[in-house]
Amino acid sequence: MTKLTTKLEIKSWDEHPYRELDDGRKFTKADVTLVGTGDGIEAGSFESIMFYRTDGTAEYVTVMQVTGSLDGKSGDFVLRGNGSFDGTSARGEMEIVPTSGTGGFTGITGTATSVSTHDDYPHMPLEITYSLA
């Protein structure tokens, strides 16, 4: 397994509530566009469905497409995962969706983790542990 630690730049974050409850809890959907910072990951985009508690903490699920070049191979793959926001840090755990890789990423497997705070903005740290077929 190979590990890549990167920070993707958040180019856009479009989040809207789609269900708001009387007690202040809400459900939102975010569409996010990312660009790479020169380390092999060229771009990414993801959609998250989030549930916010009245105290501002949240739980979320995410599906993300990642495009780039790793180990001399190019293509894209999809990550799926979940995470939480404790009011200070967002932490997501993801896995590469089986058979989602294209081009040189056909057969890619692995996991990814993202831990970020408001201080990281406009970047999203991402650590991908992967194996190419």
**Per the structure block, which two tokens stand in for 105?**
């990423």
Task: Please give the distance of CA 79 from its chain centroid, rounded to a whole number.
Answer: 7
Determine phi and psi for 105, rounding to 5 degrees. Answer: -95, 10
On the 0-12 / 13-18 / 19+ scale of CB atoms within 10 A, 83 is buried
Tens of pLDDT, residue by residue over 96-121, are 999 999 999 999 999 999 999 999 99
Mean pLDDT over the full length of the chain = 96
Give the per-residue pLDDT at 104.
95
Give the per-residue pLDDT at 45.
97
Provide the number of structural domains found in the chain.
1
Q: Domain residues for 33?
A: 2-131
Give residue 39's pLDDT band: very low, low, confident or very high (50, 70, 90): confident
Give residue 133's pLDDT band: very low, low, confident or very high (50, 70, 90): confident
Q: What is the CATH number of the domain that holds 28?
A: 2.40.350.10
Give residue 37's pLDDT band: very low, low, confident or very high (50, 70, 90): confident
Give the per-residue pLDDT at 51.
98
Determine phi and psi for 37, rounding to 5 degrees. Answer: -120, 20
Give the per-residue pLDDT at 86.
97
CB atoms inside a 10 Å sphere around CB 20: 12
Task: Count H helices and E strands in the chain, helices first.
Answer: 0, 8
- Whole-prediction pTM value? 0.93
